[in-house]
Amino acid sequence: MKKSNLYILLCCVVMIAATACKKNFMDRYPQTSIPPDLFFKSEEDLSLYINGLLSLPGRDNYVSDQNTDDKATTAAVEIKSIMTGAPTSQTITGGWSWGRLRNINYFLQNYSRAAVAQEVKDHYAGLARYYRAEFYMGMVKRFSDVPWYSKALNPSDTVELYKHRDPRALIMDSVMADLEFASTHVRESVPTGTPGKWVVKLVYARIALYEGTYRRYHPELNLQSTATGFLQKAAQVANEIIVSGKFQLHSDYAALFTSASLAGNKEVILSNIYDQDLGRSGGNNGVINNYEQSPSRDLVQTYLMKDGSRFTDQPGYATFSYVQEFQNRDPRLSQALMPPGIILAPNTLPYVLRLNRNFTGYHQLKGYINSTDAKVINNVDFPSYRYAEVLLTYAESMAELGTITQADLDKTVNLLRTRAGITTALNLSWANGNADPLLSAKYPDVTGANKGVILEIRREKRVEFAAEGYRFDDLMRWHAGKELEKIPVGIYFPGLGKYDLTGDGIEDIILVDKSASVPPAITAETNSLGIKLVYYKAGSFGESATVYLKNGNSGGVTITDNKVRQFIDPKYYYRPIPFNQMTLNPNLGPQLFGWE
């Protein structure tokens, strides 16, 4: 199906969205408006309904993961508000929405009415169960224990409506059963833009890895002894995708995020298709480029050198300038963040980073479309599911199981590093004998013989998928919530004076003291190219300055949101059930992990 033919699929989605109930059945218990005896008759009916449930990661992922150790933000992100406030079930009220589950379960109750072959029924039932598994995984991530519903409820179902929460273990067993069925019955060949067999398997492996690592590193669940089975399943399913031979890494990493069409790209298992002419515009350049968010120095320092050595092993790395930080690095750094010397359309001269009180100074490049043509910007597809994730899922699960070999690294992590342009492969013995001290401090729960390689796989996940929406979930499953207490900092400046930000050796900006008078543009100092220097008044947080530095006139750029953050373990790994829902159904109580 060509990109323009997406219109047909979009019509299906709109039709089913209009007919399927979107209310919260826990509040109003609505009946569906689709009479089952009239609708569920043919494969076309099944397809129409399932297409209405379509939900894919999209370009919004480029602006997620705010307030992690990857990105600073000025936005009112939930976790930041929790860590800096006094949260309760009366103030944290999101996430308790069940309308999508009712739509899924309604289909599963009625699909078998269709006069089609069993294989057809199983395919669509598999897709519905895949969507149900995704729904419940989201609920488990947020609340841990929730009620399990396998049918669409009506107002008369009082026992089910007022039931207790089911334990996480039961929910996840049901999720895995749904994914097992889906991975066995969903077809490989499906309409473009919709999930098929290999997407289901990728998500199956992803969820198994999430739950396996979460159980291993979260003692409050008392489920550590059950982690191994999930990790084994993650490795098994990921390896099934690998040995299928149907996918491979794309040679051009940057092109994955700038292509108008990802059709035929063998790394992209499924893309989210954007087409301005069909009303699906994906442009978010303004948000990406220094608005509400900005990359952190911690992320910059995580990338390796191009030769595979650690950037943080270099003497003096903590005081390197912006230009120094990008020299001889893993090329993915300059494909995810704007490097010195980049030229942004429609300009012909290198872009000079903007500094201000709200941002770190670094600018995100991944997801930014370097064009002034709105149609070009709006028509870039998003790689929703990438083969690279499969490789890292396999590597991580094998490392956590304690069975990883050099051959496993060579067919996973080292393929990614080679594609990136790193010249030295990751060696298992070296990694385990030379664990990164900074990563060891970041992830103190990682111990054992495979500590070093687990840390390196975590590094690889972070840099390969930087700014694609994975970081928060990874920190949560790795029991690394304390990292969110650290307020991100930005570019380092050793003091007041002139600085080159384009990498040509010629100064572009000048930092002056907060008390200094900035001259009018006509008398501003120029550099050797005859270009006016950009003036910034430096000071400490809260002072009358245009850029805040950690030490006032020196140090890393700091952001305006400088409140002390406290991540309470284990409480803040979860969210409370909203107070009004507990009032409607007291059987949902008590709240877990110290929430009130």
Residue 24 pLDDT > 90, yes or no? no
Q: Model's pTM, two decimal places?
A: 0.95
Among 217, 164, 230, 120, which residue's Cα sits nearest to residue 448?
Answer: 217
Of the options 1.25.40.890, 1.10.8.60, 3.40.50.12160, 3.40.50.2000, the CATH number for the domain spanning 1-56+95-186: 1.25.40.890
When comparing pLDDT for 539 and 30, which is higher?
Answer: 539
Identify the band that residue 292 occupies on the pLDDT scale cut at 50, 70 and 90. confident
The pLDDT, as a whole number, for residue 35 is 86
Under 8 Å between Cβ of 208 and 18: no
- Helices assigned H by DSSP within 245-332: 285-288, 297-302, 322-325
CB count in 10 Å sphere of residue 33: 10
Phi/psi class of residue 503: alpha, beta or left (left: φ > 0; alpha: ψ in -120 to 50)? left
Distance CA 385, CA 447 (A): 31
Q: In this predicted model, what pLDDT tens digit does every residue of 253-287 receive, in sequence order?
A: 999 999 999 999 999 999 999 999 999 988 889 88
The pLDDT, as a whole number, for residue 356 is 87
Tell me the residue type at 536: Y
The pLDDT, as a whole number, for residue 26 is 37
The pLDDT, as a whole number, for residue 560 is 74
Tell me the residue type at 405: T
Distance CA 319, CA 491 (A): 9
Mean pLDDT of 447-458: 98
Lowest pLDDT segment from 28-32, 170-174, 344-348: 28-32
When comparing pLDDT for 138 and 29, which is higher?
Answer: 138
The pLDDT, as a whole number, for residue 355 is 94
The pLDDT, as a whole number, for residue 577 is 98
Q: In this predicted model, what pLDDT tens digit does every residue of 229-250 receive, in sequence order?
A: 999 999 999 999 999 999 999 9
Distance CA 34, CA 497 (A): 69
Residue 175 pLDDT > 90, yes or no? yes
Q: Which helix (H) or strand (E) holds 394?
A: helix 387-401
Mean pLDDT of 347-356: 95
Residue 40 pLDDT > 90, yes or no? yes
- Helix 118-143 to helix 197-217 angle (10° resolution) is 30
Residue 386 in tokens: 């990438």
The pLDDT, as a whole number, for residue 13 is 42
Residue 6 pLDDT > 80, yes or no? no
The pLDDT, as a whole number, for residue 122 is 98
Letter string b/e over residues 575-586, b meaning 16 or more CB atoms within 10 A of that residue's CB: bbbbbebbeebe
Residue 47 pLDDT > 60, yes or no? yes
CA distances from 522 to 316, 353, 499, 519, 533 (A): 38, 21, 20, 8, 11
The pLDDT, as a whole number, for residue 33 is 62
Identify the band that residue 291 occupies on the pLDDT scale cut at 50, 70 and 90. confident
Under 8 Å between Cβ of 105 and 328: no
Residue 91 in tokens: 């103030």
The single-letter DSSP state of residue 554 is S
The pLDDT, as a whole number, for residue 3 is 53
Instruction: Judge residue 385's burial from the number of C-beta atoms within 10 Å of its C-beta, 0-12 exposed, 13-18 middle, 19 or more buried.
Output: buried
Q: In this predicted model, what pLDDT tens digit does every residue of 380-411 receive, in sequence order?
A: 999 999 999 999 999 999 999 999 999 999 99
When comparing pLDDT for 319 and 289, which is higher?
Answer: 319
Q: What are phi and psi of 557, to 5 degrees?
A: -65, 135
Residue 444 in tokens: 């103190």
- Helix 387-401 to helix 197-217 angle (10° resolution) is 30
Q: Return the C-alpha torsion angle 318, 324, 328, 331, nearest 10.
A: 90
The single-letter DSSP state of residue 448 is S
User: How far, in whole angstroms, is CA 118 from its chain's centroid?
Assistant: 37
Q: What is the mean pLDDT of the chain?
A: 93
Percent of the chain with pLDDT over 90: 89
Q: Return the C-alpha torsion angle 454, 467, 302, 298, nearest 10.
A: -120
Residue 528 in tokens: 């050797």
Reported residue count of the chain is 596
Distance CA 33, CA 18 (A): 9
Q: What are phi and psi of 251, to 5 degrees?
A: -65, -25
Identify the band that residue 493 occupies on the pLDDT scale cut at 50, 70 and 90. very high
Domain with CATH 1.25.40.890 in the chain: 1-56+95-186
Q: Return the C-alpha torsion angle 531, 537, 540, 544, nearest 10.
A: -150
Tell me the residue type at 15: M
Among 82, 62, 80, 87, which residue's Cα sits nearest to residue 561?
Answer: 80
Three-state DSSP class for 19?
Answer: helix
DSSP assignment of 98-144: -HHHHHHHHHHHHGGGSSS-HHHHHHHHHHHHHHHHHHHHHHHHHHS
CB count in 10 Å sphere of residue 71: 27
The pLDDT, as a whole number, for residue 246 is 98
Q: In this predicted model, what pLDDT tens digit does every residue of 501-539 receive, in sequence order?
A: 999 999 999 999 999 999 999 999 999 999 999 999 999
Three-state DSSP class for 251?
Answer: coil
Among 199, 150, 518, which residue's Cα sits nearest to residue 389?
Answer: 199
Distance CA 596, CA 578 (A): 10
Distance CA 497, CA 510 (A): 5
Residue 22 pLDDT > 80, yes or no? no
Residue 5 pLDDT > 80, yes or no? no
The pLDDT, as a whole number, for residue 12 is 46
Residue 559 pLDDT > 90, yes or no? no
Lowest pLDDT segment from 64-68, 172-176, 316-320: 64-68
Q: Which helix (H) or strand (E) holds 555?
A: strand 555-558
Q: What are phi and psi of 100, to 5 degrees?
A: -65, -40
Identify the band that residue 358 occupies on the pLDDT scale cut at 50, 70 and 90. confident
Residue 23 pLDDT > 80, yes or no? no
Letter string b/e over residues 77-98, b meaning 16 or more CB atoms within 10 A of that residue's CB: bebbebbeeebebeebeeebbb
Under 8 Å between Cβ of 577 and 588: yes
Residues ≥6 apart with Cβ < 8 Å to 359: 72, 74, 290, 294, 490, 557, 559
The pLDDT, as a whole number, for residue 593 is 98
CA distances from 120 to 49, 111, 569 (A): 14, 10, 47
User: CA angle, corner 29, sides to 23 and 30, nearest 5?
Assistant: 65
Tell me the residue type at 551: N
